[in-house]
Amino acid sequence: MTDTRQQDPLHGITLKMIVTQLQEKYGWEELGQRIKIKCFTSDPSLSSSLKFLRKTPWAREKVEKLYLETKW
């Protein structure tokens, strides 16, 4: 039996934590350049971004991918 926590690098990390950390590292402007979605480019906010990302799996995947590729 395998441990799913070892297979999922995002285990225990919420979407809010991901967006907050990316925004603090890159800022909204650069985040919007890296991932071209309106919630990062047009009047961005944490709440509007979370609302959009929770409804849009393809956009959430891009954000999670950037989070995993980011050198912390």
Domains, the chain, ordered by start = 14-69 (1.10.720.30)
Q: How far apart are the C-alpha atoms of 50 and 40, rounded to whole Å?
A: 11
Two tokens at 14?
């919420």
- Tens-of-pLDDT digits for all 72 residues of the chain? 556 557 889 999 999 999 999 999 999 999 999 999 999 999 999 999 999 999 999 999 999 999 999 997
What is the pTM assigned to this prediction? 0.88
Q: Both ends of the chain: CA-CA distance in Å? A: 31
* Single-letter code of the amino acid located at 47: S
Angle at 8 between CA 37 and CA 13, to 5 degrees: 60
Q: Is the dihedral of CA 71, 22, 67, 5 positive or negative?
A: positive
Q: How far apart are the C-alpha atoms of 3 and 17, rounded to whole Å?
A: 23
